[in-house]
Structure 1
Amino acid sequence: MDLRLRRPTVVRVAAATVAVALSLLLAACGRSGAEAPAAAPVRPVIAQTVVAGGHSNTERYSGEVHARYEAPLAFRIDGKISHRNVGIGDRVSAGQVLATLDPSDASMNAAGAKAAVAAATSQRDVARLQRDRIAALRGRALVSEAQLDQADNALKAADAALQQARQQLGVRENQVRYATLVAEHDGIVTTQDAESGQVVAAGQRVFGLAWSDEREVHIAVPEIRVAALRDTGPLEVTLSAQPDKHYTGRLRELSAAADPQSRTFLAKVTIIDAGAEVQLQMSADVAVTSTGNDDAIELPATALFHDDAQPAVWIIDANDRLELRTVTVARYVDAGVAISHGVAPGDRVVVRGVHTLHAGDAVRIVELPFQSAVAER
């Protein structure tokens, strides 16, 4: 047989054999990939470990030093200030003249009232003489009883007009005295709101006077911290001018209503051991330390997740896998949430990125600088 005729057949058989071998090899590779899938990646998470122990929280509020008793001083009449005798920081004594108004108008009004009293007195005297004359004529039956009654009524009206004139004179004389502003107590002038030559209205603030040596700090407290301030014990007061010295404070008064503008409550803290160095209008800080008295555990608000409608957190188990655990929220605090049930000391809680996690995920804890553990409260 001719060899040239058999060569193409041999080549075709060899090519077919190679193709079958390649198909089998590819099939084997496919079955190997299906039977051994790639391992799931380990996710990095930020977590904190709950530790047992007491928990205290200290908050500081800035305020200003005031006297316990202080009030604005004002004239009781309108007028132009002719003299101002004191200024801010001056010590005054009870009865000391602080400022005076131009007395011209008040003096003229008083003089007019005196003239009105004199006129009313004259009219009363005439009415009395007339009544006595008619009474004598009535005794001799020369006038009627009605005429006597008219004379009596005229005398009573004159007496009433005289009393009214005398009362008006008293008012005008008081206004003359009101033109002089005097201190009612020994104290210190804290504010000055008017100058000589200024026209002021009745009741307009001219000075502020503090007449008590007892010092206190006025602070503004948000409504969520009112209960903590009311239940706390002794407070710590620090003056900005003396940061190394600490004073003991006591809550004396807490406003029952919030300020309509700032929505904060005014608290007055008495400085128990205040000395002469504690001056009015100085800046001060009040430290309020609250200690937890229950078993609630505070967590950052970012750690809270939800399992349907139930609050939950992600717990990292001993095998470094995630477990979703429902919890009970006792209250919401400034730092986050307080958990009463569901979390125990030693649990590792994921505190960030909780909405991207799934139960059973393998995780690796990433430590952040300055990260602190969650404390049981």
Structure 2
Amino acid sequence: MLNLTILLLLAMLMLGGCAQSDVDPLTQKQPPWVKTVALQPDGQPLRVYSGTVRARHEIPLAFQVGGRILARHVDAGQHVTAGQLLFSLDPRDLDQAARAAAAELAATDAALATAASELKRHRQLVARDFISLQALERFELAARDAASRRAAAQAHLAQARNARAYAELRAAQAGVLIEVSGEPGQVISPGEAVAMLAQAGEREIEVFLPDGSQPPATGHVHLANGDAVRLALREVAGAADPVSRSWRARYRVMGMEAGFPLGKVVQVALQDEASETGVLAVPLGALDERSDGARIWRVLEGRAQPVPVEVVALTAEQARIRADLPAGTRIIALGTHLLTPGMPVRAR
């Protein structure tokens, strides 16, 4: 019985030694696995805003003379052609002014004819030495005065006729009436806008930017069909809006004009020069910001090596950086706070 017990103990010891010999001690010292991702060029827009489609030229329409609106021939949203009649004023006072100017011209014509006749007769008397030259000069001046009065009457008549023509407001250019405020019976003054004409042709996107921000130079707007249309900055307001403290910017729509409906609200993605020159996008977990400054890590010959970077901006999921690395370079994406320079790692 004792011998059997001894044999069993020896067999157990031999089996335990074999099990331990099967475990390779090197497996306990293998370098850790690290997840890597490729550096991507930053293709994300710098800022996203809501913009409004506007015409490049928006012309306030107004009468050059005052009066009471007699008729309105158009409605808001209507397409108009060049020369189309839009509004008419009550012309009675203007007609009377034209008749008065015509009567004034007729009176000056008669006065000029009388002065010319008197001058001719007195020149004949001077030739016969019946009157002196001093008397003749008085009639010459009277004839000049009559001619000047006639010229003034002609100008008054031309002004009256022009004013009568101004009683009809016509479209100077083809376009769309985006606003019509004048109504029949309304009394207006000269220059008071009664409509707003969006001239046909080039379209722009109007965006209001926060105070203190630099307007990006380029951008794009997405269409309903998924296409993107490029934008280019044309102008920025010279002063901030006193109420909202925002800055109005106008972006030209490149390569598309009439296809944009006026007044439509669109989502605008604006992108400055920094988004197009060497800025890369990395996951936030790849950014290591310890005491040595911001850096990312890459794997060289099986070891982790830090690369200093410049942080441009941070989003909820990514960091926008500048680094002396080409796009496509694989970097460590997670656990960078645990790495040390030269640490052995295995890239996954």
| TM-score normalised by length of structure 2 | 0.66
1:282 Cα shift?
A: 1.1
* Alignment pair present for 1:272 and 2:255: yes
Q: Which residue of 2 aligns with 1:285?
A: 267
Distance 1:141 1:259, change over 3 A: farther
Are the counterparts in 2 of residues 53 and 375 from structure 1 also a CA contact under 8 Å?
no
Q: Which residue of 2 aligns with 1:376?
A: 321
Cα distance in 2 between the residues matched to 1:267 and 1:296: 28
* Alignment pair present for 1:67 and 2:55: yes
Q: Which residue of 1 aligns with 2:207?
A: 219
What is the identity, as a one-letter code, of the residue corresponding to 1:286? V
Q: Which residue of 2 aligns with 1:203?
A: 191
Distance 1:264 1:135, change over 3 A: same
What is the identity, as a one-letter code, of the residue corresponding to 2:264? M
Q: 1:129 aligns with which of 104, 112, 117?
A: 117
Q: Which residue of 2 aligns with 1:332?
A: none
1:293 Cα shift?
A: 4.0
The secondary structure found in structure 1 opposite 2:251 is strand
Q: Deviations over 1:298-326 (max 9, x none)?
A: 9x9xxxxxxxxxxxxx965xxxxxx5x6x
Are the counterparts in 1 of residues 94 and 160 from structure 2 also a CA contact under 8 Å?
yes
Are the counterparts in 2 of residues 250 and 272 from structure 1 also a CA contact under 8 Å?
no
Q: Deviations over 1:75-121 (max 9, x none)?
A: 11101101001001212222221110000111111111111111111
Cα distance in 2 between the residues matched to 1:173 and 1:274: 40
The secondary structure found in structure 2 opposite 1:128 is helix
The secondary structure found in structure 1 opposite 2:179 is strand
Cα distance in 1 between the residues matched to 2:241 and 2:258: 34
Q: State how 1:138-217 maps to structure 2 within 5 Å.
A: 138-217=126-205
Are the counterparts in 1 of residues 41 and 279 from structure 2 also a CA contact under 8 Å?
no
Are the counterparts in 2 of residues 297 and 376 from structure 1 also a CA contact under 8 Å?
yes
Q: 2:294 aligns with which of 314, 337, 343?
A: 343
Unaligned 5+ segments in structure 1 are 1-50, 301-313, 317-322, 326-341, 348-369
Distance 1:194 1:169, change over 3 A: same
Cα distance in 2 between the residues matched to 1:93 and 1:373: 52
Cα distance in 1 between the residues matched to 2:211 and 2:108: 63
Cα distance in 2 between the residues matched to 1:258 and 1:68: 20
The secondary structure found in structure 1 opposite 2:214 is helix
Larger radius of gyration: 1
What is the identity, as a one-letter code, of the residue corresponding to 1:267? R
Are the counterparts in 2 of residues 78 and 199 from structure 1 also a CA contact under 8 Å?
yes
What is the identity, as a one-letter code, of the residue corresponding to 2:321? E
Are the counterparts in 2 of residues 247 and 271 from structure 1 also a CA contact under 8 Å?
no
Q: Which residue of 2 aligns with 1:117?
A: 105
Cα distance in 2 between the residues matched to 1:374 and 1:279: 37
Distance 1:259 1:123, change over 3 A: farther
Are the counterparts in 2 of residues 79 and 102 from structure 1 also a CA contact under 8 Å?
yes
Q: Deviations over 1:209-251 (max 9, x none)?
A: 2232332212223464435x12x4xx32135xx3x53331231
Q: Which residue of 1 aligns with 2:229?
A: 248
Are the counterparts in 1 of residues 40 and 281 from structure 2 also a CA contact under 8 Å?
no
1:279 Cα shift?
A: 1.3
Q: Which residue of 1 aligns with 2:33?
A: none
Cα distance in 2 between the residues matched to 1:371 and 1:73: 48
* Alignment pair present for 1:236 and 2:220: yes
Cα distance in 1 between the residues matched to 2:257 and 2:115: 69
The secondary structure found in structure 1 opposite 2:123 is helix
Q: Which residue of 2 aligns with 1:319?
A: none
**Matched residues, number:** 261
